[in-house]
Amino acid sequence: MRALFSCWIVLLLLTLVSVSCGSHGERWAMGLVLGCGVAKGWLISERFMELHSAPRLWRILLLAWPLLLALLVGMTLWPGLRE
């Protein structure tokens, strides 16, 4: 139970970082927001869904999805952002 509470605190902190950087409109902020999103996806799949003991294929697939989404969003928004 203590591990879940610490994961929840980390998810909360990552959310606060994402929200505070989300309105900057700069490339570093977008990278930070997308990185926080990937980290949150990893924490949710590994700890809350308890896939740390699941077969490797499931773990790879569930981590590949947020990575793919972050890559697609980043490629879409990158040209329109300030440096």
- Whether this prediction's pTM lies above 0.85 is answered by no
| CA dist., res. 40 & res. 42, Å (int) | 5
| CA dist., res. 81 & res. 27, Å (int) | 6
Domain edges within the chain: 2-80
Which one is predicted more confidently, 22 or 73? Answer: 73
**pLDDT on residue 16:** 94
Give the tens place of pLDDT for each residue, 23-77.
777 788 888 999 999 999 999 988 888 888 889 998 898 889 999 999 998 888 8
Whether residue 82 is predicted with pLDDT greater than 70 in this model: the reply is no
